[in-house]
Amino acid sequence: MILKALSFATLAVLFSLIFIGGYVSASGVGLSCPDWPLCPQGLIPHEDFIIEYIHRSVAATTGLLVIATAVFAIKSKDAPRAMKVASLIATAAVIGQIVLGAVVIVERLHAVLVTAHLGLGLVLFSMVLMTVAFAFRMPATKAIMVKD
């Protein structure tokens, strides 16, 4: 049950993050927060870089959710091997994506890096989607039968 809820929540947050990333790119505010990992005012958001601030905050949340899903999948006795593999690839992809996001900033939005950022985001989405699909195919935990 927890794997279904957690993996689905991860997918939903990741889906929103991809939308926000598209908006960051299309509206040209990618360098509104030129520092990394924090914006110029630290953890305090400011209207000058609010979209990029939200993109980074939701990315951090997504990272934690992807890692938490992988931990539960690995520990689950019912989870199939393919689900564990998909969640581990998702973990590698989310870490790579966060590092790549930093490189995109440092390299001032180099076109190849921004394209790689989009591509790795799609790999991440596919792996999380597979994890959700496996989670919803898992049998419900059997109720414990107590004998009289």
Residues 6+ away with beta carbon under 8 Å from 93: 120, 123, 124, 127
Which residue, 58 or 73, is less far from ligand HEM as judged by CB? 58
Phi, psi of 42 (to 5 degrees): 65, -130
Which residue, 28 or 139, is less far from ligand HEM as judged by CB? 28
Contacts of the segment 79-83: beta carbons below 8 A, 24+ positions apart: 79/3, 79/134, 79/135, 79/138, 80/134, 80/138, 82/130, 82/134, 83/130, 83/131, 83/134, 83/135, 83/138
Q: How far is the CB of 107 from ligand HEM (least distance, A)?
A: 10
> CB 57: neighbour CB atoms within 10 A?
15
Q: How far is the CB of 41 from ligand HEM (least distance, A)?
A: 15
Which residue, 119 or 141, is less far from ligand HEM as judged by CB? 119
Q: How far is the CB of 73 from ligand HEM (least distance, A)?
A: 18
Which residue, 26 or 143, is less far from ligand HEM as judged by CB? 26
Binding site for ligand HEM (CB under 6 A): 17-18, 21-22, 24-25, 30, 36, 55-56, 59, 62, 94, 97-98, 101-102, 104-105, 109, 114, 117-118, 121, 124
Q: How far is the CB of 132 from ligand HEM (least distance, A)?
A: 16
